[in-house]
Amino acid sequence: MSVDGDRPIDAVLFDFGGVFTDSPFEAVRAMGESMGAPADDVLDIVFGSYDDDTDHVWHRCERGELDLASTRQAITDAGRERGLEIDLFEMLKYMSSDGGPRTTVIERTRQLRVDGYRTALVTNNVLEFREFWRNMVPLDELFDVVVDSSEVGVRKPDRRIYEMTLEQLGSVDPNRSVFLDDYRGNVEAARRLGMHGIVVESDPTGALTELERLLGGDGLTADVTTR
């Protein structure tokens, strides 16, 4: 379904962590470095293979199938089997020590709605984190639709979560939508569905500039900051 025949894009979909805030993957890397452990090993223990949707405990937690306490214990046990002491709550400390929400991304999203684009948030998240992250940005101002994996039982990169979101936005054609995420595997999954995909780096300026190009604009001005 097309909203405006003169526009190439009708809807813009965003990930949360790593787009509106610093990346949770970088938080886990920092935690690994503080432990003197290989960052890739810690990432594998905590998140599993994030390019796939599996029965790893973190994936089950993000699908709402496993509570956070059980997930925490399972990850601690998996770490100890590899000689590492990993606590999810320690990871949260690293996640909460970043610079806060990225104001440039928030303001650009707000302007998208003003300009008539449909907007959505598509996040892999944990049910127990709900009240924490939902208070970080003004969700009602920014998004027409919010899809949380722990609430719908489907997580990225499963194509169903993208299809579900596009349907809730009004049966938007994938080819007329853009998805921004800091994890390349999630972006590639969206592209396989026919969506335009943008990988967001630690500095989101490049991603926002690419978004402008896809929307048919001239890009951002040179004085855009990273937050």
Question: pLDDT, tens digit, for every residue of 95-152?
Answer: 765 668 999 999 999 999 999 999 999 999 999 999 889 999 999 999 999 999 999 9
Q: Quick one: pLDDT at residue 219?
A: 39
CATH fold label, 11-22+100-215 = Rossmann fold (3.40.50)
Low-confidence residues in the chain, pLDDT < 50? 218-227
Q: Quick one: pLDDT at residue 25?
A: 87
Q: Quick one: pLDDT at residue 217?
A: 66
- Token pair 């970088």: residue: 26
Q: Quick one: pLDDT at residue 90?
A: 81
Write the secondary structure of the chain as one string of H (helix), E (strand) and C (coil): CCCCCCCCCCEEEECCECCCECCHHHHHHHHHHHHCCCHHHHHHHHHCCCCCCCCCHHHHHHCCCCCHHHHHHHHHHHHHHCCCCCCHHHHHHHHHCCCCCCHHHHHHHHHHHHCCCEEEEEECCCHHHHHHHHCCCCHHHHCCEEEEHHHHCCCCCCHHHHHHHHHHCCCCCHHHEEEEECCHHHHHHHHHHCCEEEECCCCCHHHHHHHHHHHCCCCCCCCCCCC
The count of other CB atoms within 10 Å of the CB of residue 113 is 15
Domain boundaries, the chain: 11-22+100-215, 24-96
Q: Quick one: pLDDT at residue 152?
A: 98
Q: Quick one: pLDDT at residue 97?
A: 55
d(CA 156, CA 50): 9
Sign of CA dihedral 56, 62, 65, 67: positive
CB 181 within 8 A of CB 23: no
Q: Which two tokens stand for residue 18?
A: 């790593």
pTM of the model: 0.90
- Which burial class, exposed, middle or buried, applies to 83 when counting CB atoms under 10 A from its CB (0-12, 13-18, 19+)? exposed
d(CA 115, CA 130): 29
Measured at the CA of 65, the angle between CA 145 and CA 195, to 5 degrees, comes to: 35
Looking at residue 149, its amino acid is S
- Token pair 């699908």: residue: 63
Q: Quick one: pLDDT at residue 195?
A: 98
